[in-house]
Amino acid sequence: MLSDRAEKTDQVVVLPASLDDPNTAPPGLYRVGFYATCVSIFAFFVAMVIAYIWRAQTAKYWEPIELPSVLRLSTTVIFLSSVSFEIARRYYRRGDRPVYNKLMVLTVLLTLGFLALQVSAWLDLWKQGVYLKKNPHSSFFYIFTGIHAAHVAGGLIALFIVSLKKSPKREVVNLVAYYWHLLFVLWAGLYLTLSLVS
């Protein structure tokens, strides 16, 4: 696995001399850590979905809840944020900073919109009297959406860093973008699971 910092020749791969500095991270270190983190996050959500589907088979104390209709809109919004980030990443790779900056602002706004819609969904359920401890179905809903929203909020910090930093490393921009795509895939899977089981 090679870093974007590696220079390729016809015969060998020449790594920069900065690798001799013990204070400099080796090429690809960010990537390895990122992939390990993403695999663990994905496995965690898969385990939760399996537990949810298994629990739904037991009718005892299980009361189906009607999913707030705003979740359809929030799914579209997080998809658009993933698309805008991907386009921004490609413009950054070409060196077009003005377009990159505008698209990153759009991505941040879409992300804030997604989180606002999630809060709106929770408020809608609270108004219906559907609370976290009411029954296992509502508990799973709040846990799913809450943990996902926490991951989005954490990603928002990374998004601000790559948006506001004057010259972020291309590798870091790429990894944050990939994390963003993972958040969309996780949400799409959660929303589909919640819709089918509901």
Q: What is residue 18's predicted lDDT score, i.e. its pLDDT?
A: 46
Q: Percentage of the chain with pLDDT > 70? A: 84
Q: Is the pLDDT confidence value at 157 over 60?
A: yes
Tokens 């959406």 locate to 145
Q: Judge contact between 9 and 39, C-beta under 8 A.
A: no
pLDDT single digits (tens) 15-27: 554 445 555 555 5
Whether residue 1 is contained in a domain is answered as no
Q: Please say whether the dihedral angle defined by the alpha carbons of residues 184, 188, 190 and 194, taken in this order, is positive or negative.
A: positive
pLDDT single digits (tens) 84-133: 999 999 999 998 889 998 999 999 999 999 999 999 999 998 888 877 77
CATH number at residue 140: 1.20.120.80
β-bridge partners, 8:
13
The structure's pTM equals 0.77
Whether residue 145 is contained in a domain is answered as yes
Domain that holds residue 120: 7-197
Whether residue 192 is contained in a domain is answered as yes
User: What's the mean pLDDT in 171-185?
Assistant: 91
